[in-house]
Amino acid sequence: MELGAFSVSLAVRDLAASRAFYEALGFTSTMDGDEGWLIMTNGPTVIGLFQGMFERNMLTFNPGWDQAAQPVASFTDVRELRRQAEAAGLAVGDGNTSESESGPAYFTLTDPDGNPVLIDQHR
């Protein structure tokens, strides 16, 4: 499966404090959300900081994006990725991957150790 760009989405208590911490480690903000989130990079490493949006940290994959959050010419649509995950015998969790639609959509998985995995397509 071609899952797209990889990042770690962190559930944080204090967005400003977390931002300052990761900036001290050399991360810079590349996308700021108006509603309690931001994306930070340090070279090819990407983290998302999310205040009040998720209960737990999670692994995130973004079909259609490269590591710099730029669109790629060719990618596997999230709906196809969901079909592939189900065909592989994986239990698919929450999502909004209607077969009659295209564009942004997501679904979730949980690895054997209980770690949440988000497959989140933005285009």
Pairing of strands 105-110, 58-62: unpaired
**What mean pLDDT is predicted for residues 80-99?**
89
Distance CA 80, CA 114 (A): 24
Using the CB atoms, write b or e for 77-105: b if 16+ within 10 Å.
Answer: ebbebbeebeeeeeebeebebeeeeeeeb
**What mean pLDDT is predicted for residues 79-85?**
94
For residue 100, pLDDT over 70 is answered with no
Confidence of residue 34 (pLDDT cuts 50, 70, 90): confident
Q: What is the dihedral of CA 37, 109, 111, 17, to 10 degrees?
A: 10
Confidence of residue 69 (pLDDT cuts 50, 70, 90): confident
Angle at 47 between CA 44 and CA 98, to 5 degrees: 105
For residue 31, pLDDT over 90 is answered with no
**Which element (helix H / strand E) includes 5?**
strand 5-12
For residue 32, pLDDT over 90 is answered with no
How far is Cα of residue 20 from the mean position of the Cα atoms in its chain? 21
For residue 78, pLDDT over 70 is answered with yes
